[in-house]
């Protein structure tokens, strides 16, 4: 194994640990902690807003909670299914398929939302905004041949915050 492969495996393992610890802390604190994250180590900002997205596994049927960067747009929430610029969609995006609604939590408030994928000029405008929210999104899109999905969440009803 080359040094570069070993370094990438170590980086990926540390990011997975970071994500699982981030979700656990966000949930355990009721959203008081974990909403704002320092992503400068991966090219983001020191004050990056993250929400928790709760989906149901399309194969397993198990509940999945994923932290996702977001932006507030026209009374709703925009999220990007980037998977770090991978050539495949993230599981949470695939889990949305076949469901009209999804649950999300921002800080200490949670909602059930109607979701839709943005297209055309609306997608272009919101994508531009999201690149300013989280700088790496631009490079993620440039690094893959797939069009990275841009999702709009329209909050419908308030729900209890997520629990473990």
DSSP reduced 3-state for 132: helix
Q: How many residues does the chain have?
A: 164
Mean pLDDT, rounded, for 45-51: 90
Whether 8 has a pLDDT exceeding 50, the answer reads no
pLDDT bucket at 14, cuts 50 / 70 / 90: low
Mean pLDDT, rounded, for 71-78: 96
Domains delineated in the chain:
3-159 (2.30.110.10)
pLDDT, the chain, mean: 89
Whether 16 has a pLDDT exceeding 70, the answer reads no
Angle, CA 34 vertex, CA 10 and CA 72 arms, to 5° = 110
Amino acid 52: pLDDT: 98
Is there a contact between 28 and 164 (Cβ–Cβ < 8 Å)? Answer: yes
């Amino acid at each position: 194994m080359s040094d570069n492969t070993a370094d990438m495996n170590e980086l990926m393992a540390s990011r997975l640990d970071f994500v699982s610890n981030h979700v656990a802390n966000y949930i355990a604190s009721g959203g008081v902690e974990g909403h704002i994250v320092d992503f400068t180590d991966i090219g983001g900002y020191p004050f990056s807003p993250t929400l928790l997205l709760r989906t149901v596994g399309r194969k397993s049927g198990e509940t999945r909670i994923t932290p996702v960067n977001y932006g507030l747009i026209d009374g709703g929430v925009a999220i990007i299914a980037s998977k770090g610029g991978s050539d495949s969609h993230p599981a949470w995006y695939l889990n949305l398929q076949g469901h009209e609604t999804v649950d999300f939590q921002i800080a200490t408030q949670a909602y059930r939302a109607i979701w839709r994928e943005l297209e055309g000029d609306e997608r272009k405008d919101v994508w531009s905004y999201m690149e300013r929210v989280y700088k790496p999104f631009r490079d993620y899109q440039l690094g893959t041949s797939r069009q990275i999905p841009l999702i709009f969440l329209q909050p419908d009803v308030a729900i209890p915050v997520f629990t473990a």
